[in-house]
Structure 1
Amino acid sequence: MVAIIDDDEQVRTATASLVRSLGLATRTFASAEDFLLSPEQGVADCVITDVQMPGMSGVELQAALRAKGSRTPLIFITAFPEDRIRRQVTLAGAVGFLAKPFDGQEMIACLDAALAGA
């Protein structure tokens, strides 16, 4: 199951549609906090998350998951691609860092990489 976390409903819907077109199950969340409180937090094979969201950011979500010992692969999407953030999340194990609007093939390549070990 691929968890998709973004405060923008249109992005969540479009991303979920792309992921489902690959035959993968999805679950969407409007916030990182919603994801962390859900049972899916422990069973997601991959997390696609926005970087900037109200409340907990995608970067903070990654840190929280790693602090819990989670090795779940994360793919970041952002409307504000900053090299500093890209380096930070990549060093912490991110599989991808895509600028919105992202190319579907780029997302598919990131998902393939993320799920290769699942």
Structure 2
Amino acid sequence: MVTAPFVSIVDDDESVRLATASLIRSLGWSAQVYASADAFLRSNACVSTACVVCDIQMPGMTGLEMQAQLIANGMRLPIIFVTAFPSDATRRRASENGARYFLHKPIDAAEFTRCLQSILGSGETR
């Protein structure tokens, strides 16, 4: 049995994870939450994840390090990075490695929805 694709949310802030998952579910998509990049990578959710929403600054493995690990494993998932500490260097590094969007916290719900629709609506998952 094949599981329908879903959005994986990786953020160390529980309130952000839950609010983001709630918004995604209200738009009709499924969401799964992870408290760390390590937890996401250990879950094997990469196989059915259509899009990753990931914080950049997290204890342990950062979002950018997680992106590099996914690439090293041959997986180029569409990623929407979110951060409370934006910088041009971080944005550039994320984009060079294939991140689709780079949003500042607190995220604007309408802008975030447009980003998701761009990725999920197009059927792009790899």
TM-score tier after normalising by the smaller chain length: over 0.9
Q: How many residues in Structure 1 have an aligned counterpart in Structure 2? A: 118
Q: Structure 2 unaligned segments of length 5 or more: list them.
A: 1-5
Which of 54, 57, 65 is 1:60 aligned to?
65
Letter in structure 2 aligned against 1:40:
A
Letter in structure 2 aligned against 1:99:
H
Describe the superposition over 1:82-101 as per-residue Cα deviations: whole angstroms up to 9, x where unpaired: 11100110111111111000
Q: Is 1:3 equivalent to 2:8 in the alignment?
A: yes
> Are the equivalent residues in 2 in contact too, given 1:79–1:101 (CA < 8 A)?
yes
Q: Is 1:106 equivalent to 2:114 in the alignment?
A: no
Q: Is 1:13 equivalent to 2:18 in the alignment?
A: yes
| Structure 2 SS opposite 1:45 | strand
Q: Which has the larger radius of gyration?
A: 2
After TM superposition, what 4+ stretches of structure 1 lie above 2 angstroms from structure 2? none
- In the TM superposition, residue 42 of structure 1 has moved relative to its aligned partner by 1.8
Q: Percent same amino acid among aligned pairs?
A: 51
**Correspondence list, 1:1-118, <5 A:** 1-115=6-120, 116=122, 117-118=124-125
User: Aligned-residue CA RMSD in angstroms?
Assistant: 0.9
Q: Structure 1 unaligned segments of length 5 or more: list them.
A: none
